[in-house]
Amino acid sequence: MINSDSNIKLDSSWLSYLEKEFNQPYMQALKAFLVNEKDQGKTILPKGNQWFNALNSTPLESVKVVILGQDPYPTVGHAHGLCFSVQPEVKPLPKSLLNINKELADDLGVNNQHTGNLQPWAEQGVLLLNAVLTVEAGKTNAHQNKGWEQFTDAVIQTINDQTEHTVFILWGAYAQKKGKMIDRNKHLVIESPHPSPLSAYRGFFGSKPFSKANQYLLENHRSAIDWQLP
């Protein structure tokens, strides 16, 4: 829908609420930007058929938890459309993901050091959404302020409006600012510093987001997430 060459398809549960976004001027400008970048020979990550992987892996009616990231990994072969997640063969794991795994082990005794592929979380109802869905290879934040943020705001607004008792996990100031539209009387918002090595020791470690999320889900008659990766 952004680039016809990429054969992008969006799950119908999301499309019914977000289809109007694709006709907005900001999205047309984003499309023009991405086409121009490609025409200049720049490598856009992840691959076009993975731009909407988060939404296609976690249909709207399945969303239980939202983890909000910033933009995709800029290293070729890492990003596949889920925030913080890398493709199965990637070693060593990115440092933020190593810290997420450390907190998960401390929180629930879950050992996920063997993999950084979070696809099984997405398929259980954990929406792993980046605020910006593409990046230029080798250039972190290269596609910020090009339109993706407005689109993902619409995603968050849709979840806020159309679901009940969803957990939003917001790590770092960027994610917390983007979460301003969430109704905290209707959903649980868990906030802490970002898991990056620069900030993890300022309160991310020990924040226990995974057990808090599961406790809230169970208290509201929703099934818990199995955070253990295969």
pLDDT digits (tens, 9 = 90+) for 115-138: 999 999 999 999 999 999 999 999
Cβ–Cβ under 8 Å, residues 96 and 84: yes
Residue type, 191: E
pLDDT of residue 9: 87
Neighbouring CB atoms inside 10 A of 226's CB total 13
The maximal CA–CA distance of the chain, rounded, in angstroms, is 52
Q: Which phi and psi angles does 168 have, rounded to 5°?
A: -105, 120
Interval 63-107: pLDDT, tens:
999 999 999 999 999 999 999 999 999 999 999 999 999 999 999
pLDDT of residue 35: 96
Q: Are strands 126-130 and 135-136 parallel, antiparallel or unpaired?
A: unpaired
Percent of the chain, pLDDT > 90? 96
Cβ contacts of 17 within 8 Å, gap of 6 or more: 60, 154, 158, 162
pLDDT of residue 5: 39
Of 55, 49, 114, residue with least CA distance to 86: 114
CA pair distance 15, 224, nearest whole angstrom: 26
Residue 228 pLDDT exceeds 60:
yes
CA pair distance 170, 148, nearest whole angstrom: 18
pLDDT of residue 8: 61
Of 118, 151, 126, 81, residue with least CA distance to 225: 126
Summary mean pLDDT of the chain: 95
Lookup: tokens for 193: 């510093």
Residue 226 pLDDT exceeds 90:
yes
Residue indicated by tokens 């490609």? 38
Cβ–Cβ under 8 Å, residues 143 and 132: yes
Active-site amino acid positions: 71
Residue 4 pLDDT exceeds 90:
no
